[in-house]
Amino acid sequence: MSLLAAHLRRATLQLPQSTPLTSSPFQTQLRFATKKAGGSSRNGRDSAGRRLGVKVWGGQEAKPGSIIIRQRGQKFLAGEGVGMGRDHTIYSKVLGLVQFTDHPFKRKRRAKKRFKKVVNVVEYGEESAVEAMSAGASI
């Protein structure tokens, strides 16, 4: 038997009727995803809070070196008995009571006066500390 005859014989071979179509080796298989395809997101990141703000309020005691305000920029200004760090943190230099007062400043292009808060720490020995606290000059 020649090779050509054997090839033709195999090509014309019919499948038996009892064989289902799914068991055919030429049948393509369907496969479903076990997990839904997820898209990528460019968001989804966040940083921790910076814990900014007033740490010691008006009328409270401040020890030397204690942080009174953490801020970005000069939202509050440093007054008597306090210092300002490189990151604009206001800290106490003396032992005393914290006092907040308003300081007027004028913007360059606006005629209206605005106010910024000035932070002071008044030492205990001074009589002005008692007067300032009784006058209600604190926040």
Question: Which value, in Å, is the radius of gyration of the alpha carbons in the chain?
Answer: 41
**pLDDT-based confidence at 127, cuts 50/70/90?**
low
Tokens linked to 130: 């008692």
Q: 103 pLDDT exceeds 70?
A: yes
Answer yes or no: pTM beyond 0.75.
no
- Exposure string (b/e) for 10-36, b if CB count within 10 Å is 16 or more? eeeeeeeeeeeeeeeeeeeeeeeeeee
pLDDT band at 118 (very low <50, low <70, confident <90, very high): very high
Mean pLDDT within 14-38: 66
